[in-house]
Amino acid sequence: MMEHRWHSRVSIALPVGLHFGDGAYAWGTAVDIGGGGMYIRTAMRPQRNGCVDIRMTVPCSFGECSIRLPSMIVHRNQDGVGLMFRDLDEQAEEAVRQLLRGEARRRPPTPLQQPMTERHKATAPRR
């Protein structure tokens, strides 16, 4: 199979949130990243060519910053989705460069970043 990526990828293991335009969301783990996109393991099965905002926390000059990576789903399989970044702002571009340099590649998910099981959803407080 021929490789079609413009950028090389590096392995990471970071919890991320996937936020879709229709209000749906899911949790996943970013497992690799390149200058043009990333692969996320997730149970969510979104449509190919759909748009999604990836939300993640990365180190910054004053602690940790929450960043948004607008992306398009370019492929999916049983384990997750491959994304291509689109229109990253300056903060998001710097975060991607940080990750490519090997900074903040591995962090365990916090309890809030763990996917909710059906049992947890049934007992979660409603807002």
- Extents of the domains making up the chain: 9-104
Contact 60, 50 (CB under 8 A): no
Name the class of domain 9-104. Answer: mainly beta
Q: How far apart are CA 14 and CA 34, in angstroms?
A: 14
Confidence band of 86 (pLDDT split at 50, 70, 90): very high
- Report percent pLDDT > 90 for the chain: 47
Would you state the pLDDT for residue 9?
Answer: 83
CA distance 24 to 60: 28
Mean pLDDT, all residues of the chain:
79
Mean pLDDT score, 41-50: 82
**Which pLDDT belongs to residue 71?**
96
Which pLDDT value is given to residue 109?
46
- In this structure, are residues 27 and 42 in contact, taking their beta carbons and an 8 Å threshold? yes
| Most confident segment among 29-33, 61-65, 100-104 | 29-33
> Vertex 46, ends 41 and 52: CA angle to 5°?
85
Q: Is 26 helix (H, G, I), strand (E, B) or coil?
A: strand
β-bridge partners, 69: 54
pTM for the full model?
Answer: 0.74
- pLDDT average, residue stretch 38-56: 88
